[in-house]
Amino acid sequence: MSLEDCYGVCGGDLAAVRGRLLDDARITKYLNFFLQDDTYANLGTSLESGDLATAFRMAHTLKGTSMELGLVQLSQDAAALCEALRPDDAGVPKNLEAAPELKQKVDDDYLLVQAGIALI
């Protein structure tokens, strides 16, 4: 299989990533690193435990990492979750009620990314 197949499955922008990382071997390397990273797992754990400050940081990190790798749908949904968890001036998340639904979208996206990377 190919990177084209991978990015087709997970809703990504391979052309943009090629513009940044320049080389398919490098892209593949970083996609595999992405799956080894514990940010996604820590996001789930911190939400389950009620550690909203960590959950916000993990959503923010996941947003940025997935954006750099051209994982567009995951990045967009992680950004929405990040904004829901972003603390206001009093330290209260802006839209905690939306977090479960947004987290489910991130979960679904992450599964697609895993499936896409498995095609490489």
The tens place of each residue's pLDDT in the chain, 120 residues long, gives: 799 999 999 989 999 999 999 999 999 999 999 999 999 999 999 999 999 999 999 999 999 999 999 999 999 999 999 999 999 999 899 999 999 999 999 999 999 999 999 988
Facing residues of 100 across strands?
A: none
Separation of alpha carbons 54 and 59, rounded Å: 9
Separation of alpha carbons 68 and 53, rounded Å: 23
Are 10 and 89 in contact by the 8 Å Cβ rule? The answer is no
pTM for the full predicted model: 0.93
Are 113 and 30 in contact by the 8 Å Cβ rule? The answer is no
Is residue 54 classed as helix, strand or coil in its secondary structure? helix
